Amino acid sequence: MSTLKLVDTLEEQALLEELIEVTKPAVPPECRHLDYLLATPFRYDAPYPHGSRFRRAGRTPGVYYAAEEPRTAVAEMAFYRLLFFAESPGTPWPSDSGDYTAFAAEVATDRSIDLTAPPLARDRAHWTSLTDYGATQALADTARAAAIELIRYSSVRDGAGGTNVAILACNAFAQAKPVERQTWRIRLSASGVQAICEFPDLRIGFGREAFAANPRLRAFNWER
């Protein structure tokens, strides 16, 4: 826990965590049975700054984004880490790899839509735009109005064709806590992104060309 280095004892750390918790927005009632890792995307009611694929900018309902496979989650993570450096061209590469925890959640709902299957797959070009989220945000508005809880869609970051899910409601979680965890070491450098998981043994690499189709990374400064 990041707060542990600020205190001397576990009791002080627990008190500090409690004080921090009361300053945060309340967890919505329908999400209060969930672990904080699952409930967090739904609790913050500050204006969403830029919008995302299924969530509009502004004071809008939360969305829990996840991938069906670790590789796809790592691809999404790699893209957004590189995007940070693209928007900060003077920032040097990290001197060492970073540790990240991937966790799995169990979901089950009969109120879902699948953008990878007919009939919605016919509009794939609208759902998979690299930069324009207008169509998917409008779809999410319609889905919420129809009490849809989950949207399944193709990842545009995973070149292997992975699939993501966007969870719109806490009711879609079948278990209140994550059901599995993995530790990943991710390194960013001038040659790309390398990710390693020891248990199970998984190794994934993304070279300079992996995300070159996205205009936000097209003029990326690799040499720093």
Chain segment 55-69, per-residue pLDDT in tens: 999 999 999 999 999
The answer to whether residue 50 sits within a structural domain is: yes
User: 0.75 cut: is pTM over it?
Assistant: yes
User: Tell me, what's the pLDDT at 162?
Assistant: 98
The verdict on residue 63 lying in a domain is yes
The first and second tokens of residue 18, run together, are 């409690």
Any domain includes 112:
yes
Measured CA to CA, the distance from residue 34 to residue 28 in angstroms comes to 10
Cα dihedral 144, 148, 151, 152 in deg (nearest 10): -170
220 exposure class (CB count in 10 Å sphere: 0-12, 13-18, 19+): middle
Q: What is the pLDDT of residue 177?
A: 98
Amino acid at 80: Y
Q: Is 214 inside a domain boundary?
A: no
- Say if 136 falls within a structural domain: yes
> Is residue 217 situated within a structural domain?
no
pLDDT at 46 over 80: no
**Residue 1 scores a pLDDT above 60:** no
- DSSP 8-state code for residue 25: P
Does 220 map to a domain? Answer: no
User: What is the residue range of 106's domain?
Assistant: 9-206
**Model confidence pLDDT, tens digit, residues 127-153:** 999 999 999 999 999 999 999 999 999
What integer is the mean pLDDT of 115-123? 98
Say how many residues make up the chain: 224
CB atoms within 10 A of CB 56: 17
Is 187 a member of any domain? yes
Output the average pLDDT for the chain: 94
User: Tokens at residue 93, please?
Assistant: 């590469």
User: What 3-state DSSP class applies to 39?
Assistant: helix
Neighbours of 89 (CB within 10 A): 10
Three-state SS for 197?
strand
Percentage of the chain exceeding pLDDT 70: 99
| pLDDT average, residue stretch 119-133 | 97
103/208 Cα distance (integer angstroms): 27
Dihedral pair phi/psi, residue 98, rounded to 5° = -110, 150
For the chain, the domain total comes to 1
